[in-house]
Structure 1
Amino acid sequence: MERPFVFIECKTTWRKEFEVTSGRQPTYALFFLKKGSFKLTLDGSEHIVRERDCVIFSDDIDFFRTVIEPISFVYLKFKINPRCPFQVDIPLGMIHFKNCKRFIDSIEKYDALTEAQTPAAIYYREHLLEDILLQAFAEYKWRSLMDMHTENIEYKLEGCRDKIAKAAVQYIISHISEKLTVDSLCHVCGTNPSTLNFKLRKEFSASTAALIEKLRMSEARKLLRNTTFKINEIASRCGFENIYYFSSVFKKHHNTSPTEYRSRYR
């Protein structure tokens, strides 16, 4: 599978002043300030970027920047890979990581490998940089992250050549509010549990029962974000007869309750 990012340039450097103080980045870019400070105006908002701060630029946002104290920084140029089957919505501007320890650990490991040119070192550097960007995505765009698996299923559905697997997923989606069992799905698709499970694992990387549950959770997230339905009504619309079981399954998938999820993302 294609990776979500294409890395163009990665380096650690030092400046008394930026070579380009205003304009736009030619590509996406990440700056991590190791030492010093600089003033940054990004799309009309002013910031003072200090040691251990992180900024992500896109190629369509105007900036003005000037060094206050000489700076040492990690500079990463990258672009979104259009061939990746899912799109990662990168947050822009000043990034304040919730799990700062993880971020700093990745940056420091990357920095230690800056000069290494072995294939293994280059691969690991790109792994670290990808992890940093995915961490930013996960922390700032958590709702989108929870939808990624379902988006991937829908993406794969378009190109699925297995008629039984495709029919099963389409049936689950269109009957998501109903009681769905492996046996009932096999009856609709004209197959047996073993064959259906094998085909769904092959095409969508999930067992029959797991796929039903994931698609129910996707519908639950949409209803929590976009409607004012009560939790028990959402549970029913997602095929759950018991609100407590619905809440338990939701928390297992999202590490938060349906009520907390709604208050967080509406």
Structure 2
Amino acid sequence: MKKNRIMPLAKLGNQLEELAKTIPKFETVKEVRAERLIREKALQKRKDKIYQALFNKLWECEPCYPCGSAACPECFRHHRLIMIKEVLKLCKKRKKWRGLTLIFYQDAISDDELLEWRPDALKARLRRWLKESGFEGMIIGGFEMDFHTGIQKWLPHFHLIIPNDKEAIKKLRIKMKNKRNMNARKGVVNRPMLSSELKVPERQISYRFKAIWWRVESIEYNDVYMLDNKERKRKRWTKKYRLLSKQHTDSLIMLDAIGMAGLTFMYKVRRYGDHLLMS
């Protein structure tokens, strides 16, 4: 590791730091500095130029001269708080909006494909489906990928805020439940679309804008249990862990390559400076 630096923590303006305090479990300036050091150490261990270039970018990032990389947790925290602040303004009436997760099982990719893959075509398909489903209001959120150990694949997915339009949601669900997407994992019933009420906007909106990818391990139970005098099969569940070694550094390369704008999905809304305007 290079010689230790002495630099102030990347503390933001009072308005954003006050907002951060209102969001449950939101990362502090100390926590993102610690995460940045973890990422720098992981990148420096890999000698290929692509990893060393990103290591140097993060190493040289300073509060007064931010690197702007989506792989830098300090820079991404700034971006994330701005997006949360603006989306909260646009979602004042909770019943008008819902949280939505879309999982594209059919687009799962292997480790070997990861660094060459980009989400542009997938985002274009999603925009087409939203239009065909009849959504007329703002849709905004983030793109992520997690590595699922059970199938040894990366699964692309979106966490979004959508208008509470029941008919449009129904049409989108039909598209997400196409045969290819539902039959991508043998012996597992896929759930490609999860919708929820916007009950705690600060927490739910902040969840839509994050830049850390995980390793997902699933546990399946073969036993049964009794509930209300009926025999029921115990459900399968998943747990998230940090990515291991090369997958971790490859995820950082991907975050940097896709960028903050690429990780942010926007439909019928655009960003103008630090503000969001509905189209």
Q: Please confirm whether the aligned pair reaches a TM-score higher than 0.5, indicating the same fold.
A: no
Which one has a larger percent helix, Structure 1 or Structure 2?
1
Could you state the TM-score of these two structures normalised by the residue count of structure 2? 0.25
Larger Rg: 1
